[in-house]
Amino acid sequence: MSKNWLADAFAPELAKNLALFGQVASQDEPYFAMFGRFIASFAGAESAVHMLARKQSGLSDQVARVIFGGMRLPDLTPRIRQMLRITRADNAVYTAVDKYLTQLDLIGEQRHKLVHRNVDFDPALGKLAVSNQFTAKFLDIAEFDHFSINDLDAMREDATRIFVALVEIVSPFDGKSAEDLAHWTEWKARPWRYKPVPPPPQKKSPQKAPKAQRRRPDASQG
């Protein structure tokens, strides 16, 4: 018997799996490339939120960095909204910031799944398959999501728009040409590209018919 009997036994299957992996890898490259671009764009938008928080605080940059540095978006965004209310920011500014933060929160939920869950390319669907089935407390409550390359590109573009818009609020761009201003105004007014797929409706369990209540005997009868 060969000393390498384990390798000999699994060599045909291993070769088959490696060949299949090579085929899938060549197909999934554009998806994971777009995945990376989206993550980079989201990081830029996240940094712009920190910039906005420091400006709205009215504190020196050094002090504001001590307070807000390392703070997560779910903790930072409600504070920004509250600071805008306290400082009585212009209603148009508040509406715009709220719009950007709301979309960023929505995208952030999807980004969390992509970063912290198992991600594979599904060649049959032509999408990234994301699941927490290996980390969920119970398998029957595991969540499964799919992201097309258009989903990833839509989130990337929305995150880029949020980054540029928030940076402009923090430090308004000066010296725009009329053409650039018109293009920027039109770009900001566009609807968001990313819209999540609504979850499938949950099946309602059939309601049981109420049990007939037994009448208690009258205490006066005996």
3-state secondary structure of 41: helix
Residue 2 has pLDDT above 90, yes or no: no
Task: Give the Cα separation of 171 and 200 in Å (integer).
Answer: 43
Instruction: Pick the range with the lowest mean pLDDT from 102-116, 125-139, 150-164.
Output: 125-139
Average pLDDT, the chain: 83
Whole-angstrom Cα distance, residue 89 to residue 58? 13
218 — pLDDT class (breaks 50, 70, 90): low
How high is the pLDDT of residue 186? 83
At 201, give phi and psi (nearest 5°).
-65, 140
pTM: 0.75
For the chain, what percent of residues have pLDDT higher than 70?
A: 76
Q: In the predicted model, is pLDDT for residue 105 greater than 80?
A: yes
Buried b (16+ CB within 10 A) or exposed e, 67-93: ebeeeebeebbeebbebbeeeebeeee
Q: Give the pLDDT band (50/70/90) at residue 6.
A: very low
Q: How confident is the model at residue 5 (pLDDT cuts 50, 70, 90)?
A: very low
From the list 160, 161, 167, the residue with the least C-alpha distance to 185 is 161
Of the listed ranges 41-55, 130-144, 175-189, the least confidently predicted one is 175-189
Going from N- to C-terminal start, the domains of the chain cover 14-108+152-189
What are the pLDDT digits (tens) for 168-189?
A: 899 887 666 777 778 878 887 8
Q: Which range, of 18-27, 105-114, 162-171, 181-190, averages the lowest pLDDT?
A: 18-27
DSSP state string for 170-186? HS---S--HHHHHHHHH
More confident residue, 141 or 12: 141
What confidence score (pLDDT) does residue 48 get?
A: 96
Contact call for residues 73 and 105 (beta carbons, < 8 A): yes
3-state secondary structure of 159: helix
